Structures are given as C-alpha cells and as structure tokens.
Structure 1
Amino acid sequence: MSPSVLEALKLTTAMKCAPHEGCSLLLRVQASLILHDSLRGLEACSMNLDTQETQCQNVRVSRASRRRQVGRQLQVHFDCFEVSVAQSLYVTLRTVPHFCGVQLDQQYHVEVEKFSYWVDRSRKVILVQVPEAPGAPDYYVRLCLKWFTCEDVGSPVRVTVNRMSRTVSLPYSQELPCLCLEGWSATPDAVRMQACPFEDETEALWDAIRYHPGDQALSWEPACPVSGHVSLCWRPGPGALCHNLEHSGRPAHGRVQYPLVDAQPQLCLKFSTSRGFRVRCPFQERRFQALPISRCTCVTRGSHGPLPAAQFSGPRPSPQPQ
C-alpha cells in the first residue's frame, strides 16, 4: 500500500461543558485518506510525552463502503481524547491492518485559550477581553513589570462568571517594554498567559535620570532590565557628536550614579545597547535645579568653554588645549 493513502491529519482542541459538571478540554482528531480495497479501518493514538501514557481509538470501514468508494477521498472523525492544558502530545495515525511505512505523526501542544487586548494611548489604559466559554471558571488579569519574575503593578482583577462584561480596563502610567499583561484561570496551578504591548518601545527607559543638587550626584535607574553600557559624554553643540569622557563607562544592569557632577548644558548621558545608542542631555533641558557651574575652563579650537567636572574611579586627566 502506498504511503500517500493517508493524506492529512488535523488536530484541534475543544471545550466540553455540562451543567453542574464543569468544563473539560478535548482533542479532536480528523483524518483524510484515499480509500483502498485492503484497508479495514484507521487507528489514532495519542501519547502524553510527559507520562508516556497512550490512548488509542479505532474507526472501522465497512466492506460495502470499500466496494463503492475505492479510490475516493474519505474524511474520518474520531471520538475526542481528554487532555489537559499545557500537555505535549504525540499523535499517530495508522491503517488497520498496519502496513509498513503507511503512517502519519504529529506533535501537538495543548494551550489555554488566550485573552485579547488593545491599547488606548489617549486614555493610558489597556482594555483586555477575557476568554469566554459556558461554565468556564473565573479569570484573573493584571499588569506586571517583568524582571526575573513578573512583579505586580496594582492588584489583579477577577472576572467572575456572572459578570455582564468580559472586558477589563487596566490603567498604566508609562509605556515600558517590560510592562506586561498576565491572565490565568481561577483554578489550581493554572497556566498563565502573558503579552507585553510595549516590548519594542524603550524611549521611556532613557529618561529615568535624576540629579541631586546638594551632593551634585547624577543618577540613572532603568525601570526594566537593560543590557548595555552607559557613559558620560560631552556634546559641543546641538546635533554634534557626543564625545565619551574617559573612565565614565558603566554596565547598564541597574542603578548608575556619578558623584560631583557639574550641571553643564553640554554634559550628556550616552546609552549603548544592541539596538544602537541614545543620548540624553538633562541639563540642556533645564529639568533640574543646579548649583553654579564649575570654575574649570579650557580652550577648545580657539574658543573658551566650560569643561564638565565629574569624579571618576580612574586617574583624572589634565585639561589640555586642542
């Protein structure tokens, strides 16, 4: 028998709900084949890859059907297999009797139904549509900041079965790449689904700059995990290249602080990541109240201008005229 007799194997999940009994997940198995006169039926087996437990079902093809429909395409629907959320299954389809090499295999992962959402930037809210099924349990949704774990931003919202609307409004303050939605069923050990609406938007990270006039400390602390480097740089004018200052490089893994920094408009912070670099000049924007600028000056290309004073861990270079 040719292997092409078995044309397709289709797997889908469905939810079965009964009054007073709750809901259960089922795996539907559908096969497409070309009927052969030697074929007596089909066998579908589902094996749980975690426990190696196997379930099998057989569908018989009557002799009358074989005589009338040999060579025609036939659709076969098996009874549903009971499954659980997050199961990994290996499904096999074979002929009865089994012919060597005539077999279809497919691996399938059972996922929980996902929530949907959309962002209203004008109101700074995220609207979440909770999945709905008759007899399904309550559902939780929340906002969280994703570091090593997802840390709560506000309290989770519980959507009850008898709630009129399945849409939840979650307000947010900043569009951060690690600000995520998390949803899960109100059942023990429920699988949690996550979505991060702003994962490609990093601009807000570079604005987390603080200046303390009393001790002249300039600091930056990202609200999300960042991989890269931060350094002080000197920008001669608007749109000009920002020149890195020696011994000012720091890994951007957490809070970075520079003590004894003068509030010079040309003094900037440069952030370098795998996506490129960003430059922020906090004193040029006059966001911070600052003490008078440094007494140190130098000659640069024939003109006088201030030189930023900052304390570094390495040796301090002497200002040299260019």
Structure 2
Amino acid sequence: MLAGHAVALLCLTWGAYQSLAIPRVTECSLSCPQGFACKSLVSRGNIFNSFCQQPPASMPRSVLGALGLSTAMKCSPPDGCSLLLRVNASLTLHESLQGLEVCSTSLDTQETQCQTVQVPRASHRQAGQQLQVRFDCFKVGVAQSLYVTLRTVPHFCGVQLGQQYHTEDCREEDVGKNVPDCFAQKLSYWVDRSRKVILVQVPESGGPDYYVRLCLKRFICEDAGAPVRVIGNRVSRRVSLPYSQELSCLCLEVWSATPDAVRIQTCPFKNDTESLWDAIRYHPGSQALSWEPACPMRGRVSLCWQPGPGAHCLELKHSGRPARGRVQYPLVDTQPQLCLKVSGPDHNLPRALPGLAEGSEEPDKGPTALGQGTHGQMSPSALPSPRVQPPSSPSNPSWANSGGRGFVTNLRGPWRPA
C-alpha cells in the first residue's frame, strides 16, 4: 500500500515538473484538423490585406472564435535552444473565407512577422464547422513584449482579434538553463582598480560567442569603448576592458553573438559617489558655482550651512534645484561652513568628502587589486530621466532645516577665490 502511494506521488511530481517545463518542438509546423488541407505562407505582412472590406451579411462577426498564445522551445545541440511563439486560432468556416493571417509585432522594435494559412473554400455542407489551426514558427526572444493579431483573408472590417503577450525571461528555470541569451548572466567580472580595468570571465562550458563592452548609461547606453568578441570555445576566456573614471553610470554590457540577442547590463560603480564632486566648478570672477554630473541623477541639489564638523547641515531657503543636467548658483560667497548637498532616492549616505571639509577621513574603497564583481545580477537596461536644464536665478539665502539625507561637500579649498 505504501509502495502504491509512493508511485502515485512520484507520478504526480513528475507530471507537475513536465507541466512547468516549456514544450519542445523539433521543427516548425502548421497543424490543421484531419480532412482539411492547410498551406502556410511566411511574409513580413501583406499590404493588400491591410485594407478591409465589408463582410457579407451571412458572415457572423464571431467567425474568429479564439486566439491562444503560448511559448515553445526548439533545441539544436550544442548551440542551445531558441524560443518560438505558438499561436492557436479557431474560426468558423464560411464560403467567403480563403484563410487566416496571424501577425506578431515586437513592441520594442516594431518588427512584424506574419504567417498566412490558406484553407479551401467551405462548401454549403462545411459552412458553420469549427476549424482549429496552430502555428509554431514565430521566432521570439527572451523577455520580449509582443502584440499578436488574427485576421481573415480577405480582411473583413471589424473581424479581427488581438492580444498582448510577454515571453518568459531568464528567471524562468527552463529558459535560464537552455537559451544562450541567458548565459550572459553567468559571466563573472572583477574590477582591478590599480590598473583601471574590468576583467570579464566566460564560463568554461560550451556555448555561443559573446560581445562585451563598456557604456555610459544615459538616455541610451553610449559607447565607452569598442565591443570585444569573446570566443566561447577558446582556452582563454578572459577579456580586459579599460576605463578612465569610476562613474556610477559606467556599465558592463554583455550579449550573445546571435541575432536580436537580449543585452544584459550591470554597473560596477553604481554605488560610488566620488565622481559627484568632480562636477563642481567655482568661477572666482563671477562668483558663480556650477554643478554638472557626468551621469544622470534623480533627486535635488541645495546649498546648506554646516556649523561644525559632523554637524547637521541646514539647507538654505530657495537653494533647492532638481538634480537634472547643469545646476548653477550665481553670486556665491565661499565660507568655511557653506556646503553643497546632493540628496535623492539613490543617495542615502551623507558624508563630507576628503580634503573638502574638516574632520573628514579617506573613505574605505576596499581592495585596490582585484575586487570580485557580483555574479548573476545583470539586468536589462532602464531608461534614465531625460536631462532638463533647471532655471538659475539669484536668491538671498536664508536659514532652514533640511530633513533630507544626501551627500555634503564644503565649498572651501579648490573653490576659494584667489
């Protein structure tokens, strides 16, 4: 009896595992019910089917019954697996119908791929019967957003179905283990601060080639060096990428050498704040103070008054500016207690930087040789806020308490007028 329960539990467990795995297909195919001859035509979209015509009075608007979408996987060892979109459609046969057209549009690139199925004209005896059609040949990518439309051929006005669909990402176990686009997340990297290089290591398992590059994540990730191709089956799988400055928006971007591959990004210095203060400029002649960081930021900039080392910095009224683009303060009189503060959701460790405020200490930057990067935390890029030039008008500073946390630097030393 116990053995029977064990077998039943094993069967249930294996059945649950199979239901979670993405179905495999060996080749692209078109499936129609027995007795119907369907023919598939692949195209980028039929312009003549873009214009609709009025349906005959005998055709019901519900002639398209259903549209079902799912993901399938086609594997070709040793190159790995690719994802396919599986489309299940149903229609009611009508003597005016010649076929179906299914189009899949990427919401990211607006690229469209279509497939048309020709069906024989229905006889009076066949009219009204349900026909199930399945398409398996739409190539899709990992974590892709699609919009799928189903229309009749010819295209009758008002007779159309549409549905949005998102393919699985690398967090799905079956996809993460088998799709080459996800292998980039298994790459490891190290930051060699003494040589100012980032070392990238490719896993020793077989697989596709990769491209790696450094880029500055602004509105898009702009080139900060030429892409380097990493050959997957070579003995040496380490590449060295030099950088000039440790910027919070300096990112490592990796993608497989396959068409339309997903690009994975990680930013090794995203928590470093030293570069914030390299953007401060004081002009002794005009007494203007400007701040323009090399990386986009969220938050605000303000002037504040720090009575003593380690004391709370009191924000000056009317000095707050959005931390977007270039911020300028005219007629700034440098005083030992006058500071610049940057605060925001990404910056919550207030401190005075070394050499600019009394009592400050050199921050611990960690090891100066190899500091290993974080594995498996590369994520698709997120678009930063657009850069906006804030207004800069003179204001008479006054005292006010600051409730925000942020970074503070003293306006002495390099910014004291000669």
**Equivalents in 1 of 2:312, 2:206: separation in Å?**
61
Determine the structure 1 residue equivalent to 2:331: 260
How many correspondences in the alignment?
221
Map 1:155-194 to 2 at 5 A.
Answer: 155-160=226-231, 165-194=236-265
- Distance 1:227-1:135 versus aligned 2 partners, 3 A rule: closer
Partner of 1:235: 306
Instruction: Name stretches of at least 5 consecutive residues in structure 1 with no aligned partner.
Output: 28-45, 52-80, 89-106, 292-322
Output the TM-score relative to the length of structure 1.
0.57
Tell me if the contact between 2:207 and 2:233 (Cα under 8 Å) persists in the aligned partners.
no
Structure that is richer in strand per residue: 1
Distance 1:116 1:84, change over 3 A: farther
The letter for the 2-side match of 1:156 is P
SS at match of 1:278: strand
**Residue equivalent to 2:190:** 118
AA of the residue aligned to 1:210: R
For 2:59, the equivalent position in structure 1 comes to none
Aligned equivalents of 1:47 and 1:202: distance in 2?
Answer: 47
Is the 8 Å Cα contact of residues 25 and 85 (structure 1) preserved in structure 2? Answer: no
Equivalences for residues 77-96 of structure 1 within 5 A? 85-86=141-142
Given residue 280 of structure 1, which amino acid in structure 2 is its aligned partner?
T
CA distance in 2, matches of 1:17, 1:82: 20
Matches within 5 A, 1:190-201: 190-201=261-272
Q: Return the alpha-carbon distance in structure 2 between the equivalents of residues 141 and 174 of structure 1.
A: 18
| Equivalent-residue separation in structure 2 for 1:122 and 1:14 (angstroms) | 45
Larger fraction in helix = 2
Match of 1:127 in 2: 199
CA contact (8 A) 1:205 1:222 kept: yes
SS at match of 2:240: strand
Larger Rg: 1 or 2?
Answer: 1
Residue by residue, what CA displacement relative to the aligned partner does 1:233-287 show, whole Å, maximum 9, x if unpaired?
Answer: 222322233222222111112211112222322221122213321111031xx12
* Partner secondary structure for residue 311 of structure 2: coil
Partner of 2:213: 142
1:25 and 2:96 correspond: no
Q: What is the CA–CA distance in structure 2 between the aligned matches of 1:142 and 1:282, rounded to whole Å?
A: 37
CA–CA separation in structure 1 for the residues paired with 2:308 and 2:207: 65
CA contact (8 A) 2:213 2:252 kept: yes
Instruction: Say whether 1:6 aligns with 2:12.
Output: yes
Which runs of 5 or more structure 2 residues have no equivalent in the other structure?
23-72, 89-102, 105-136, 145-166, 170-174, 349-404
Deviation, structure 1 residue 121: 2.7
Which residue does the alignment assign to 1:208?
A: 279
Checking the alignment, whether the CA contact within 8 Å between 2:190 and 2:200 is kept in structure 1 is yes
Whether 1:278 and 2:402 are equivalent positions in the alignment is no
Q: 1:289 to 1:48 in 2, by over 3 A?
A: farther
In 2 relative to 1, CA 87–48 (structure 1 residues): closer, same or farther, beyond 3 Å?
farther
Q: Secondary structure at the match of 1:205?
A: helix
Give the match's secondary structure for 1:271. Answer: strand
Q: Contact (CA 8 Å) 1:184, 1:191: kept in 2 or not?
A: yes
Q: Aligned equivalents of 1:26 and 1:271: distance in 2?
A: 46
1:144-164 per-residue CA deviation (whole Å, 9 max, x = no partner) reads 111221111122222346765
Structure ranking higher on relative contact order (CA contacts 8 Å, 6+ apart)? 2
**Aligned-residue CA RMSD in angstroms?**
3.8
Match among 267, 284, 293 for residue 222 of structure 1: 293
Structure 1 pair 238–134 and aligned structure 2 pair: CA distance change class (3 A): closer
* Partners of 1:25 and 1:82 within 8 A in 2: no
Amino acid in the other structure paired with 1:216: Q
Paired residues for 1:43-82 under 5 Å: 47=86
2:123 corresponds to: none
Task: Report sequence identity in percent.
Answer: 60
Q: Secondary structure at the match of 1:117?
A: strand
TM-score when scaled to structure 2? 0.45
Question: Which amino acid in 1 is paired with 2:407?
Answer: R
